[in-house]
Chain A
Amino acid sequence: MNSPVQASPHALSRRTSGHIMALVMAALVPATLAGFWQFGWPAFCLWAITVLSCVLAEALCLQGAGRRVVPVLSDGSAALTGWLLAMSLPPWAPWWLGVLGGFISIVIAKQVFGGLGCNVFNPAMVGRTVLLVSFPVHMTQWVSPQVLAQGTDLAQAIAIGLNGGIPDALTSASLLGHAKTELGRGLTLVDALQGFQPEQSMLGLRAGSLGETSALLIGAGGLFLVFKRVIGLRIPIGFLAGLCIPAAIAHAAAPQAFLPATAHLLSGGALLCAFFIATDYVTSPSAPFGQWIFALGAGLLTWLIRTWGGYPEGVGFAILLMNAATPLLDLWARPRIFGRRIGGKPLDARRAQEVTR
Chain B
Amino acid sequence: MAHVVIPPIRRLLTRWGIHPDSHKFPAAGLDIADAGLPPLLVLPLSQQAGAPARPVVKVGDHVLRGQLVAEAVGHVSAHVHASTSGTVMAIGDAPMPHPSGLPGQGITLRPDGLDRWVQRDVEPYPINLAPEEIARRVAAAGIVGMGGAAFPAAVKLALGQRSSIHTVILNGSECEPYLSCDDRLMQERAGDIIEGARLLLRATGAQHLLVGIEDNKPDAIDAMKLAAHPYPEVSVVRIPSRYPMGAERQLIHTLLGVEPPAGGRAADVGVVVHNVGTAAAVWRALRHGEALTERVITVAGGAVAAPRNMRVRVGTPLSWLVERAGGLTREPARLVVGGPMMGVAVPDLDVPVGKGASGVLALTVAEVGEREPSACIRCGSCVVACPVGLMPLEMANRINAGELGQAEDIGLRDCLTCGACGYVCPSRIPLVQYFAHARGELMARERERKRLDEVRELTEARTARHEREAREKAEMHARRKAERAAAQAAEAAAKVSATQEESA
Contacts and interface: CB of A to CB of B under 8 A. Distances in A.
Most chain B CB inside 10 Å of its own CB: which residue of A17, A336, A337: A337
B347 interface: yes
B270 interface: yes
A352 B363 CA distance: 42
A80 to B, nearest CB: 11
Contact of B345 (A10, A71, A330): A10
A353 interface: yes
Interface string A323-357: 00000001000111111100000111100110111
25 contacts: A5-B100, A5-B345, A9-B423, A10-B341, A10-B363, A11-B367, A12-B370, A12-B371, A12-B422, A13-B424, A117-B378, A286-B378, A286-B380, A335-B383, A337-B414, A338-B387, A339-B414, A349-B260, A349-B269, A352-B259, A352-B269, A353-B258, A353-B268, A353-B269, A356-B269
B334 interface: yes
Contact of A8 (B101, B263, B419): B419
Interface in A110-132: 115-118
A61 interface: no
A13 B166 contact: no
B56 interface: no
B37 to A, nearest CB: 29
A149 interface: no
B334 A352 contact: no
A17 B268 contact: no
A16 B371 CA distance: 10
A171 B334 CA distance: 64
Interface of B: 18, 20-21, 99-101, 166-167, 177, 249-250, 253, 256-264, 268-271, 334, 336, 340-345, 347, 361, 363, 367-372, 374-380, 383, 387-391, 393-394, 410-411, 414, 417, 419, 422-428, 430, 432-433, 436
Nearest to A335: B389
Given A12-B425, A349-B261, 11 more contacts: A9-B341, A10-B368, A11-B367, A115-B375, A287-B380, A330-B394, A335-B390, A337-B414, A340-B261, A340-B414, A353-B270
Nearest to B371: A12
B415 to A, nearest CB: 10
A282 interface: yes
Interface in A1-48: 1, 3, 5-17, 19-20
A9 B377 contact: no
A17 B374 contact: yes
Interface of A: 1, 3, 5-17, 19-20, 71-72, 75, 77, 115-118, 281-282, 286-287, 330, 334-340, 346-349, 352-353, 355-357
A339 B375 contact: no
Contacts of B436: 7
A117 B377 contact: yes
A260 B253 CA distance: 47
A339 B262 contact: yes
Contacts of B380: 281, 286-287
A10 B301 CA distance: 11
Contacts of B363: 10-11
Nearest to A347: B261
Given A13-B424, A17-B377, A349-B269, A339 B383 contact: no
Contact of A338 (B253, B341, B372): B253
A347 B265 CA distance: 12
B379 A5 contact: no
Contacts of A16: 370, 426-428
Nearest to B247: A338
Q: Which 3 A-B pairs have the closest CB atoms?
A: A286-B380, A12-B369, A9-B419
Given A5-B99, A356-B269, A11 B369 contact: yes
Given A282-B378, A347-B262, A348-B261, A11 B249 contact: no
A72 B375 CA distance: 9
Nearest to B338: A8
Nearest to A230: B379
B387 A17 contact: no
Nearest to B414: A337
Given A16-B426, A287-B391, A335-B391, A9 B261 contact: no
Contact of B261 (A71, A334, A346): A346
A346 B341 CA distance: 27
A9 B391 contact: no
Nearest to B252: A356
A285 to B, nearest CB: 8
Contact of B430 (A7, A117, A334, A336): A7
B389 A337 contact: yes
Contacts of B387: 338
Nearest to A339: B262
A15 B426 CA distance: 6
B261 A352 contact: yes
Contacts of A287: 380, 383, 391
A286 B167 contact: no
Nearest to B259: A339
Contacts of A8: 340-345, 417, 419, 422, 432
A141 to B, nearest CB: 35
B256 A356 contact: yes
A346 B419 CA distance: 23
Contacts of B423: 9, 11-13
Contacts of A336: 389
A325 to B, nearest CB: 15
Given A10-B363, A13-B20, A1 B101 contact: yes
Contact of B340 (A11, A116, A338, A355): A11
A1 B351 CA distance: 13
Nearest to A286: B380
A58 to B, nearest CB: 12
Contacts of A116: 374-375, 377
A117 B376 contact: yes
B163 to A, nearest CB: 9
A13 B428 CA distance: 9
A38 B101 CA distance: 65
Most chain B CB inside 10 Å of its own CB: which residue of A77, A338, A353: A338
A40 B263 CA distance: 64
Contacts of A12: 368-371, 422-423, 425, 428
Contacts of B99: 5-7
Contacts of B433: 5, 7
Nearest to B345: A6
B426 A11 contact: no
Contacts of B20: 11, 13
Most chain B CB inside 10 Å of its own CB: which residue of A8, A17, A287, A356: A8
Nearest to B369: A12
A3 B347 contact: yes
Contacts of B426: 13, 15-17, 19-20
Nearest to A74: B374
B258 A352 contact: yes
A10 B334 contact: yes
A17 B343 CA distance: 26
